[in-house]
Structure 1
Amino acid sequence: MTAPLPSRFHDLVPATLRRAWATEGHCPDLDLYALFRARRIADPHATAVIDAGGEVSYAELDHRARCLATGLAEAGVCPGDVVGVQLPNTQEAVAADLAVAALGAVVLPFPVGRGGREAVSLLGRSGARAVIAASAHRGVEHARELAGLSGELPALRAVIAAGPGPVPDGCLPLADLLRTDATAFTPARPDPDTAARILVSSGSEAEPKMVAYSHNALAGGRGNTLAPLLRDGIRPRCLFLVPLASAFGSSGTAVTLARHGGSLVLLDRFTPDAALEAILAHRPTHVLGVPTMVRMMLDRLPDARETPAGLTALILGGSALDAATHDEARRAFGCAVVNLYGSADGVNCHGGLTGQSAADDHPDSGPGIKVGRPVPGVCEIRIAPLPGGAAGEPGEIVARGPMTPLCYVGAPELNMRYRTAGGWVRTGDLGMLDADGALRVVGRLKDIVIRGGANISPAEVEGELSSHPDIREVMCVGVPDPLMGERLAACVVPRAGRKPGLESLCGHLDTRGLERRKHPERLLLVTDELPLTPAGKPDRAALRERAAAEFPSDHAQAV
């Protein structure tokens, strides 16, 4: 029986368009568990997941998922219910994804490391009926914390504790649910255009945004994003350095396993040494992470016992990748380096395996970052002019296509702000389309620094500074100023043994032709690494706070 679509997951894309995308073959038009089950039947002994606990086959993973689905049903989870999952990258997290899908319920993964208050906000606004959380992870007892806060969640029926050690009061042990008898379990068959997963995005709001995705949008639209990066006839073997519970990590269970029949290689926590060891030990075809992670790995490579080989691609998202790091990574790892532009809000674009933009081979002097041509099977992209904007200037990137999410969850004001007539999504990103149809991303509307009434795009300045010989990594943020409103601060991770100064940075920007009103006026040297959010993205907000503390506005001097 088709599960009813809860009203809180109202699809803001016209149904005729959804059906047209499925008819045109852009979506498999099956629910995620059915797709996975077909892979399991076709090749039951193929490796599905590799983590710190070892390898698990498709057949073994399917058995765990069906047992867990039975246990969740006995705990009161019904089709259409939301189930929160706060687990590290493990086999249990993947089994939870599949079990919830098999029930016809909706999974809400969010990374370990998010505090109890934020977790309660996500679970409360989504109306979650159950949550599976780690008993203990890196010193944090997530399950115990959530059980203690369950009184604030009237819809919550069960807190399920995963992991070794004593089961906290008020929790059900995941181990017991996994031991249930699943022989009589019958999977649900939800409409593939109904909600399957809620992606959590940090965004600029006071609380994280939640975005509901259908089975077709995940396996179809997001699956089509990965498809051009696969080699014909070779099963993908994807090492995820980012959390599976992040928006980027949604390409794990739903895409790598269910859509493409590959294998997942998982780290429960990223470190550059662990990542390099996993590449050498498990020989993945693809590594998915963020540019900061690759820079950290490149710093360790001179001390590595072996050089990584056999990779098809490094797939990097979350922030723009500078040309110097791109070229260094391509040489060091011997594979394509793909900078993926995308967000949980419903947009993805990249240049494919042959769309590399190495500065040595394909000099590119255009504005922003060239990220490739939009693909109809993923999403169509348009540029909406900004108020008062002139012809040819960047505008806001808007997108619509098979990967477009249903709606924002628990936040009708976000649907009003970011969704337009006909199902288009306002991304909040600035960009433009080249004459050949390629998309250039110039920056974020919300990141614009306004200095004395003039707009400065931090992304533009970061792109120019990234080629400075003393800089390993850079992010620019605005700091308050009583005279100018804001001034631009460059937060720089220097290369080993280097200590760039502000004068050197500005001189470099002069040679690059960047007008002086856009030059940074403050320099914050970061001696370790740029901070990352729990989802693995560079934490611009944390840097903004750090820079503001380092350069208090009452000490700012006019320049």
Structure 2
Amino acid sequence: MPDLVPQHLRRLWSEEGIYPGAAVFDLFLGKAAVQPDQPAVFDDDGVTNYSQLREKALRLAAGLRGLGVRAGEVVACQLPNSALACAVELATAALGATVLPFPTGRGHRDVLSLLRRSGAVVTVIPARYGDVDLAATMAELRPELPHLRHVVVHGAEAPTTVDELLATEPADLDDLPSPDPDTAVRYLVSSGTESEPKIVAYSHNALIGGRGQFLKRLQRPGRPMRAMFLIPLGSSFGSCCTFGVLCALGGSLVLQRKFDPVQALRAIGEHRPTHLAGVPTMFQRMIGSPEFAGTDTSSLQALITGGSLIDPQTVDRCVADFGCTLINLYGSADGVNCHNGLDDPPHAAKTTVGVPNPSVCSIRIVDDSGADLPPGEVGEVLARGPMSPMCYVNAPELNERYRTPDGWARTGDLGVIDPVGRLRLSGRKRDIIIRGGSNISPAQVEGVIAAHPSVLSVACVPVPCPDLGQRIAACLVAVPGAAVPDVAELAEFLRVQGLEPRKFPEVLLEMDAFPLTPAGKVDKRALAQQATEVFTATRGDEPARV
């Protein structure tokens, strides 16, 4: 697999001690050896210490090896947040294989794309997610996935189950491979603006020396990190959990299968986390819960918010109500990272994302030609550093589009370096909708809606929402003689087509024709303005004619 970052830089980061020069599972074994009884994961099933997690990982490694998994192959994992999900990641790494975690709840279109592009030979899934029979869905998809040899199911009878793997005798450490720390160990999923999700390859060194270094900067001396992650482990943000908090820091994780503000507050009181990571909407919902007033949040050193822009008012409220620092994180699966620090003045998180740290990720601001701009001028944000991933997986066209020849990530975001060196974001170049911290590609949603028999043309645009940041508005032109579906009818159609609910439009505009720019393209800016007016007036309950 190609590494787009120049090798002399990787070697330099190793010489400087930023990279550990060791495989992630070896680092985990080192932590487990010195602190076997320390809690590794608090989850909905109880507490798993380092020794118990080591045992689970070695049993799963033996079980996966029994299924034929070898070094260099890919194991996908769609389990909800739990110690078991962490153990699957560790077991895969122990075999020198690459793990591809992604959240439960993705539609079957995305699942098919991820498994096909990654070439996964095994996938580990829960039997059900809500009212969806994932095992049955996977059975339907398997004929389209020639690489997929086994589906391992948790929570129900199946030809291969997680319980069977856990019943395997633990793998002998002497029989495990010694992976090159510059080879891929984890694939991260990036929604981005493509019609299908992107997959980004990370090496052992980039995870520990990049994301691990980022976490170390947020840890107070003498107090190990106990991080409560409200977002899925299968997300880009969640990639900091197993290989970051556990393997790099030797800390603890507090995890819940699904975010619920009341249950999250109870977990804070019970497990006393030092850090709470989530998107702004989650913190808002927790503060708004009646349980909040009775919750002791004094253990918290910092809230870490990412995935969505946060407004100054929410920053102030979070700092005041939770009683700790708020870390405004700008990051992505593409290796981007910048954030304010634990001891920065409170105003830094309101309008900036902190000072770039070259030991994690350097930031450049460039013009349309790629030339560097001086501080104070707005341009596109480029990122490269020890955190940088190797490449996009099986997608040379994405490497060409989103990476420079010398490995810088083209973020598509606009930013400026202010007079004191902090990065201030100024907007986005890319066509993307951020709903509740989740990146949604309008192109993908448009492609599915376009298959509706009553829809002639479709364009999806964002409308602002105080709760979720943005919602999706679908502007529709009907087939002559037909009527566009209402919100409920369209949602049912999209569900059948395999699109996950978070991508369903909540505002519909029926139009005779789309406004066009002078160049003849659909004027999405004008559509967004019209959609916002409709949403404000009607809350999007029924299609509105424009």
TM-score normalised by structure 2 residue count: 0.81
Instruction: Give the aligned partner of residue 51 of structure 1.
Output: 43
Q: Which moved more, 1:183-192 or 1:227-236?
A: 183-192
Residue segments in structure 1 that go unaligned for 5+ positions in a row = 1-8, 450-464, 491-517, 529-545
| Partner SS, residue 133 of structure 1 | strand
Taking structure 1 as reference, are residues 346 and 527 closer, same or farther at Cα in structure 2, changes over 3 Å only?
farther
Once residues 526 and 55 of structure 1 are traced to their aligned partners in structure 2, the CA distance between those partners, rounded to angstroms, is: 49
1:425 aligns with 2:458: no
The Cα of 1:121 is off from its aligned counterpart by 1.1
The Cα of 1:33 is off from its aligned counterpart by 0.3
Once residues 304 and 240 of structure 2 are traced to their aligned partners in structure 1, the CA distance between those partners, rounded to angstroms, is: 11
1:522 aligns with 2:533: yes
Once residues 108 and 370 of structure 2 are traced to their aligned partners in structure 1, the CA distance between those partners, rounded to angstroms, is: 43
Instruction: Give the aligned partner of residue 470 of structure 2.
Output: 475
| Partner SS, residue 300 of structure 1 | coil
Q: Which moved more, 1:64-73 or 1:186-195?
A: 186-195
Alignment of 1:24-423 (within 5 A): 24-163=16-155, 165-167=156-158, 171-182=159-170, 184-185=172-173, 186-301=175-290, 304-358=293-347, 369-386=351-368, 393-423=377-407
Report if aligned partners of 1:431, 1:439 keep a CA contact under 8 Å in 2: yes
Taking structure 1 as reference, are residues 78 and 302 closer, same or farther at Cα in structure 2, changes over 3 Å only?
closer
The Cα of 1:526 is off from its aligned counterpart by 11
The CA RMSD measured in Å over matched residues stands at: 2.7
Once residues 158 and 302 of structure 1 are traced to their aligned partners in structure 2, the CA distance between those partners, rounded to angstroms, is: 44
Once residues 183 and 320 of structure 2 are traced to their aligned partners in structure 1, the CA distance between those partners, rounded to angstroms, is: 43
Q: How many aligned positions are there?
A: 470
Once residues 117 and 186 of structure 2 are traced to their aligned partners in structure 1, the CA distance between those partners, rounded to angstroms, is: 15
Instruction: Give the aligned partner of residue 436 of structure 1.
Output: 420
Taking structure 1 as reference, are residues 153 and 526 closer, same or farther at Cα in structure 2, changes over 3 Å only?
farther
Q: Which moved more, 1:430-439 or 1:214-223?
A: 430-439
Once residues 516 and 25 of structure 2 are traced to their aligned partners in structure 1, the CA distance between those partners, rounded to angstroms, is: 58
Q: Deviations over 1:216-253 (max 9, x none)?
A: 11111011111111111111111110000101000100
Taking structure 1 as reference, are residues 180 and 303 closer, same or farther at Cα in structure 2, changes over 3 Å only?
closer
Taking structure 1 as reference, are residues 256 and 519 closer, same or farther at Cα in structure 2, changes over 3 Å only?
same
| Partner SS, residue 59 of structure 1 | helix
Report if aligned partners of 2:262, 2:291 keep a CA contact under 8 Å in 1: no
Once residues 369 and 534 of structure 2 are traced to their aligned partners in structure 1, the CA distance between those partners, rounded to angstroms, is: 32
Q: Deviations over 1:290-347 (max 9, x none)?
A: 0111111111156643342210101010011111111111111111111100110111
Once residues 183 and 473 of structure 1 are traced to their aligned partners in structure 2, the CA distance between those partners, rounded to angstroms, is: 45
Report if aligned partners of 1:12, 1:407 keep a CA contact under 8 Å in 2: yes
Taking structure 1 as reference, are residues 295 and 526 closer, same or farther at Cα in structure 2, changes over 3 Å only?
farther
- Read off the aligned partner of 1:109 and give its amino acid letter: P
Once residues 300 and 88 of structure 1 are traced to their aligned partners in structure 2, the CA distance between those partners, rounded to angstroms, is: 24
Once residues 312 and 419 of structure 1 are traced to their aligned partners in structure 2, the CA distance between those partners, rounded to angstroms, is: 35
Report if aligned partners of 1:90, 1:266 keep a CA contact under 8 Å in 2: yes
The Cα of 1:187 is off from its aligned counterpart by 2.5
Once residues 267 and 538 of structure 2 are traced to their aligned partners in structure 1, the CA distance between those partners, rounded to angstroms, is: 27
Report if aligned partners of 2:74, 2:120 keep a CA contact under 8 Å in 1: yes
Instruction: Give the aligned partner of residue 446 of structure 1.
Output: 430
Report if aligned partners of 2:100, 2:188 keep a CA contact under 8 Å in 1: yes
Taking structure 1 as reference, are residues 188 and 208 closer, same or farther at Cα in structure 2, changes over 3 Å only?
same
Taking structure 1 as reference, are residues 292 and 416 closer, same or farther at Cα in structure 2, changes over 3 Å only?
same
Once residues 538 and 424 of structure 2 are traced to their aligned partners in structure 1, the CA distance between those partners, rounded to angstroms, is: 31
Once residues 483 and 148 of structure 1 are traced to their aligned partners in structure 2, the CA distance between those partners, rounded to angstroms, is: 41
Report if aligned partners of 2:42, 2:48 keep a CA contact under 8 Å in 1: yes
| Partner SS, residue 125 of structure 1 | helix
Instruction: Give the aligned partner of residue 443 of structure 2.
Output: none
Report if aligned partners of 2:315, 2:349 keep a CA contact under 8 Å in 1: no
The Cα of 1:139 is off from its aligned counterpart by 2.1
- Read off the aligned partner of 2:409 and give its amino acid letter: V
Report if aligned partners of 2:325, 2:346 keep a CA contact under 8 Å in 1: no
Once residues 200 and 65 of structure 2 are traced to their aligned partners in structure 1, the CA distance between those partners, rounded to angstroms, is: 25
- Read off the aligned partner of 2:306 and give its amino acid letter: G
| Partner SS, residue 308 of structure 2 | coil
Residue segments in structure 2 that go unaligned for 5+ positions in a row = 434-463, 476-513, 518-522
The Cα of 1:147 is off from its aligned counterpart by 2.9
The Cα of 1:479 is off from its aligned counterpart by 7.6
Report if aligned partners of 2:304, 2:327 keep a CA contact under 8 Å in 1: yes
TM-score normalised by structure 1 residue count: 0.79
Taking structure 1 as reference, are residues 382 and 148 closer, same or farther at Cα in structure 2, changes over 3 Å only?
same
Once residues 526 and 472 of structure 2 are traced to their aligned partners in structure 1, the CA distance between those partners, rounded to angstroms, is: 6
Instruction: Give the aligned partner of residue 535 of structure 1.
Output: none
| Partner SS, residue 406 of structure 2 | helix
Taking structure 1 as reference, are residues 301 and 320 closer, same or farther at Cα in structure 2, changes over 3 Å only?
farther
Query: Percent same amino acid at aligned positions?
Result: 47
The Cα of 1:448 is off from its aligned counterpart by 8.6
- Read off the aligned partner of 2:411 and give its amino acid letter: T
Taking structure 1 as reference, are residues 118 and 46 closer, same or farther at Cα in structure 2, changes over 3 Å only?
same
- Read off the aligned partner of 1:115 and give its amino acid letter: G
Q: Deviations over 1:100-156 (max 9, x none)?
A: 000000000010001223212111111111111111221222233213321211111
- Read off the aligned partner of 1:151 and give its amino acid letter: P
Q: Deviations over 1:71-111 (max 9, x none)?
A: 10110100000110010001110000000000000000010
Once residues 82 and 165 of structure 2 are traced to their aligned partners in structure 1, the CA distance between those partners, rounded to angstroms, is: 17
